[in-house]
A and B are shown apart, each in its own frame.
Chain A
Amino acid sequence: EVQLVESGGGLVQPGGSLRLSCAASGFTFSDYWMNWVRQAPGKRLEWVANVNEDGSVKKYVDSVRGRFTISRDNAENSLYLEMNSLRVEDTAVYYCAKAKTAGTFDYWGQGTLATVSS
């Protein structure tokens, strides 16, 4: 059974940092692109970043490029999102999602809430 379990969310002040983690199991992690997707309160889902199978290709939405870093550890079956210079508008539930085909996410985690507030 495929499982994706996020952790690392919490309350942080503007300008602060958080590191989100996603522990994957039930599939060959190193064979798939992985994504972070977020949903701010009352807003639609928004793709944040993804990384290819070996971690050599990373893509970001413009609003987080230069502040967020996606990475993966295939030996540990884990995906990460390092979030720096956080803004109030980064407040959201962050989901880890496994890619199936281009633009398709076949498995999602339950999400972890990151709240940026003073």
Chain B
Amino acid sequence: QSALTQPASVSGSPGQSITISCTGTSSDVGAYNFVSWYQQHPGKAPKLIIYDVSNRPSGVPDRFSGSKSGNTASLTVSGLQAEDEADYFCVSYTGRTNLDVIFGGGTKLTVL
């Protein structure tokens, strides 16, 4: 497999929680605890928000959390805020020399 599967879009109201899934295989997401999540606003560079499945870089609010079960990783955003509206994509390490990482297609989060 050369790609991870994400829903095209999710939405929620301010204060609510949403979860974005990222499905891979036993050769990537299921094999390694090296799944990361990124936030990207239009015209901006991607920003790392979760790494190694569930770790948050410094400065990322604890409203963002990550988890993994089998071949599916998930990003949960709690207490939605207007500024959370953005594209989110997942990445998994594969351990393959000719395909170091694979990307999800991205999910558009709309804050209603």
Contacts and interface: CB of A to CB of B under 8 A. Distances in A.
Interface of A: 35, 44-47, 50, 59-62, 65, 95, 100-111
B: interface residue count bin: 20 to 34
A71 B27 CA distance: 29
Interface in B1-50: 3, 32, 34-36, 38, 44-48
Interface string B57-86: 100000000000000000000000000000
Given A44-B103, A47-B103, A104 B51 contact: yes
7 contacts: A44-B3, A47-B100, A59-B97, A61-B99, A108-B47, A109-B45, A110-B45
Nearest to B99: A61
Contacts, number: 69
Nearest to B47: A108
Contact of A100 (B35, B48, B98, B102): B48
B105 A104 contact: no
